[in-house]
Amino acid sequence: MSRRPLRAARPARLPARSPARFALGAVLPAVPLLLALLGPAVAGLPGPRGASFTAGGEHPLGTDFAGQDVWRQLLLGGRSVVVIALAATVAAYVIALPLAFAAALTHRAWLEELLMRPLDVLLAVPSLLMVLLVATVFAPGAAGLALLVALLNVPDAARLMRAAAAEAAARPAVEALRLQGESWWRIAIGYVARSCLRTLAADAGVRMTGVLYLVATAAFLGVGVDPDAANWAVMVDRNRTGLFIQPWAVVVPALLIVALSMGTNLLGDTALAGRSTPARRPGGGPGTGARSGAASSPRTTKGPAR
């Protein structure tokens, strides 16, 4: 009985970056971001109020429950939601990443416990309950709400990034860098942090969605925004009674929030697909580097067949 030639297993091909998908992921968050950042500058002065929940006429998207122009409220209401969510997400990672890398790279168990165990206590408290408890003591305002939401997201982000950093720190390459006398900062930033970029990109989109949900929920309850301020989340809540009469006052702000969330995740997925696609060699299939002759060519056995 003859033996079949042994062939090296080819790595699974991952989907390549699609230009159409990347363009869609860029357009979806760009629309709400532009409305949020530039909307107040072009909103203009308020016009006379009309009847509640009317469509057409001088108002392209109709009027809301108070007779205000929905389009003008959309231009004014995005900054308080989008800017707070973006600031809270960035602030959460600014606090969580140093804690995660310090806990993953330290060789002192007591220091790791000191860094991570207080975060477990904060992780056990429901986020919305903490927002309501803080709101009963003092009015946080927009900046206070962003900082509060960021602190509530630090434990989860720190635990996730610590797990990714600990896996990268346990590789032989890190031990080789230590033996070469490389500094802690070079190991942490130059190797471990770069190894965690995929995990960070995947988590950022999901965390942005959760932060948007928490900020919108807080706005529903009047936390962090003025009662009479224009706000996309508040528009959805206050105009839901006229959904079947004048749906644009509810549907459009809800779609803008959904577009920001979906676009952020789509951009992250597209970036991950582009980074994970194996490089093609000029003469053959996908691969990340030169392979040995034993791995690239079939191995046959000499001698008579059994």
Query: Per this entry, what is the length of the chain?
Result: 306
Residues with Cβ < 8 Å from 122, sequence gap 6 or more?
Answer: 151, 152, 154, 155
pLDDT of residue 80: 81
CA 80, CA 68: separation in Å to the nearest integer?
18
- Is 304 in a helix, a strand, or coil? coil
CB 77 within 8 A of CB 234: yes
pLDDT of residue 149: 92
CA 256, CA 79: separation in Å to the nearest integer?
12
Write phi, then psi, for 6 (nearest 5 degrees): -85, 125
150's tokens: 């960021």
270's tokens: 């597209």
pTM for the model stands at 0.73
Query: Closest Cα partner for 260 from 249, 271, 268, 250?
Result: 268
Counting as low any pLDDT under 50, the low residues of the chain are 1-2, 5-15, 276-306
CA 190, CA 249: separation in Å to the nearest integer?
49
CB 192 within 8 A of CB 104: yes
| Backbone region of residue 47 per phi and psi (left: phi > 0; alpha: psi in -120 to 50; beta: other values) | beta
Measured in whole angstroms, the distance separating CA 109 from the mean position of its chain's CA atoms is: 31
Place of tokens 């009309």: 50
In the chain, where does DSSP find H-type helix? 19-42, 70-77, 79-105, 109-123, 127-137, 141-169, 172-179, 184-185, 194-195, 197-220, 232-238, 248-276, 293-296
CB 88 within 8 A of CB 59: no
201's tokens: 């990109």
